[in-house]
Structure 1
Amino acid sequence: MSSHMTRRALLASGGAAAAAALPLIAPGHAAASTPATQSTKASEFVPDVGPGNKFDFDGEALRYPGNSTVFHVPQDSRFHQALLQVRQDIVHSPVGKQHCLLPKNSLHMTCLNGTNENPAQRKYGYWPRDMRLGQTIEEVHQHFLDKLQGFSTGLPQPLLMRPTELAGPFEKQGLSLTMVPADEATAAALKSVRERLSALLQIRRPDFDTFEFHISLGYPWRRYSEGLATYAESRRLEWSAHIRDQAPQVELGRLEFVVFNDMLAYSPLMYLDS
């Protein structure tokens, strides 16, 4: 977005543009769930589903506003096509019904997780230490945007990464493709920018030092049977190999500061190093 006014308008709307996303590829139910039916259905689903989480028992995205720094996957790349091929295969396999798949145009790799409105994460480490815990997420968006003006990432252009494998098991890890830097120089640059962003924005999650770069294709939703888990493991290895074969080394887009209302769309407020 080119003007500060435009950014402020988007912030004031809570990132309204993020709401215009593609539908989820997951089974749904026409009728709204009641507390009783939610309790009955809960045993079918993984723990992080339902009120207060990212997705509900109908596979619909719940409100989960926040911000992040990400690299979007260029949609004209061979890598993006390989991801879509695997995504399509997953949709038509038994694995697809166990997950909430993300829209094709939202695929990205996170650099440093930002802040969100999840009450469980409204604490320092997740929440910026130089802001009050009672402030709004929109105020955090603006605070970060102001701080990031003029920030230099020091990252090589283009940013080169290598896909390794889809993490397993799917029921626990979701459909998440692990990514590693293409060389030591890129690894050092990414480590540096994460440290500097963390210090600037005053956020440092407990998993900061163990964080692995990844691209999410979908979130866990329904529980797996033992037989399905065995099938999924064999397909996990097959799908991972396909991605590596099609795109052994990939170029990612510029680092962006983005806001979102849910997990379906990430609206850039600024490109770092712009």
Structure 2
Amino acid sequence: MVNLTKVKFKENGDFNHFPGNTIVANLYGNEEVMKLVEIIQTEYRKLPFIDKFTLTPQGSIHMTVIELLCDRNRLSEYWSKDLSLELPIDEVSDYFAEKLPIFPLTDEKLVMRTTAMGSQNILVEPADTKTADRLAEIREYVSEHAGVRFPNHDNYQFHISVGYLRENLTEEEEALFSEVKEKLSRILLEKLPTISINRVDYTVFDDMTRFTPYVEKINKI
């Protein structure tokens, strides 16, 4: 697989042009989530090795429901079986919009449970059987209609990215970071035990700074 971290960012940590499409629940409008994201990112900024991270912009906070395609990752196992590997990404996005007419999904009332703080993200899982079954249903629908089924399809880890680690940490840095993550995990479980989701969108992006619902992009044209 292509090392996506290397192509998502410039050497100085700024975001590179990295177009694609995906299915997400945007969470930047969720006040409870954003309060915790601010707490987490504030702790990250205190790290003496913060220059190894690029923090997720506020307008990009989301939970991926199922990954679709990235222009810079044109390997068959990470592409649609129904599309040429050479098809321009804009044409791919338009094709998916036709194949996935159910989006946006609104009033889904999905509930995710926070489980721990990862290195770059808040780890979450379905909080109940109803949510687990609905997420599985959405993922199967998208996989079938878009022709996309990644190697991790059956064991995908749901998460909310708060930053991107661009360089490996040293052993000493890892030890310090482990303490920070343990502290943040306790805060998460106390202050944000569950997250409610009521909208899931088919989105397009030019880089990691914004995941725009396809319907909104079309309405602006």
- Provide TM-score, normalisation by structure 2: 0.89
Q: 1:221 to 1:151 in 2, by over 3 A?
A: closer
Dislocated runs of 4+, deviation >6 Å: none
Taking the aligned partners of 2:191 and 2:48, their CA distance within structure 1 comes to 24
Which residue in the other structure is 1:241 paired with? 186
Which residue in the other structure is 2:196 paired with? 251
Which residue in the other structure is 2:48 paired with? 94
Which residue in the other structure is 1:182 paired with? 127
Q: 1:237 to 1:106 in 2, by over 3 A?
A: same
Q: 1:201 aligns with which of 117, 141, 146?
A: 146
Which residue in the other structure is 2:92 paired with? 140
Which residue in the other structure is 2:15 paired with? 61
Amino acid at match of 1:158: K
Pairwise CA distance, 1:96: 2.5
3-state DSSP of counterpart to 2:33: helix
Matched, 1:75 2:20: no
1:166-215, Cα deviation, whole Å (9 max, x unpaired): 22xx3xxxx11111111012111111110111001100111111211001
Contact preservation (8 Å) 1:64, 1:116: yes
Q: 1:150 to 1:101 in 2, by over 3 A?
A: closer
Return the index of the structure with the highest Cα Rg: 1
Pairwise CA distance, 1:95: 4.6
Which residue in the other structure is 2:219 paired with? none
Taking the aligned partners of 2:176 and 2:97, their CA distance within structure 1 comes to 45
Q: 1:242 to 1:140 in 2, by over 3 A?
A: same
Which residue in the other structure is 2:67 paired with? 113
Amino acid at match of 2:83: M
Which residue in the other structure is 1:165 paired with? 116
Which residue in the other structure is 1:212 paired with? 157
Taking the aligned partners of 1:238 and 1:231, their CA distance within structure 2 comes to 11
1:39-64, Cα deviation, whole Å (9 max, x unpaired): xxxxxxxx7654xx111221111111
Pairwise CA distance, 1:116: 1.1
> Number of matched residues?
214
Pairwise CA distance, 1:151: 5.8
3-state DSSP of counterpart to 2:214: strand
3-state DSSP of counterpart to 2:21: strand
Contact preservation (8 Å) 2:112, 2:125: yes
> Matched residues, percent identical?
27
- Provide TM-score, normalisation by structure 1: 0.73
3-state DSSP of counterpart to 2:113: strand
Q: CA RMSD in A?
A: 2.0
Taking the aligned partners of 1:76 and 1:86, their CA distance within structure 2 comes to 15
Q: 1:270 to 1:244 in 2, by over 3 A?
A: farther
3-state DSSP of counterpart to 1:71: strand
More strand by share: 2
Contact preservation (8 Å) 2:111, 2:194: yes
**Correspondence list, 1:220-239, <5 A:** 220-239=165-184
Taking the aligned partners of 1:77 and 1:157, their CA distance within structure 2 comes to 18
Q: 1:76 to 1:110 in 2, by over 3 A?
A: closer
Contact preservation (8 Å) 1:166, 1:236: yes
Pairwise CA distance, 1:235: 0.6
Q: 1:200 to 1:68 in 2, by over 3 A?
A: same
Q: 1:232 to 1:152 in 2, by over 3 A?
A: closer
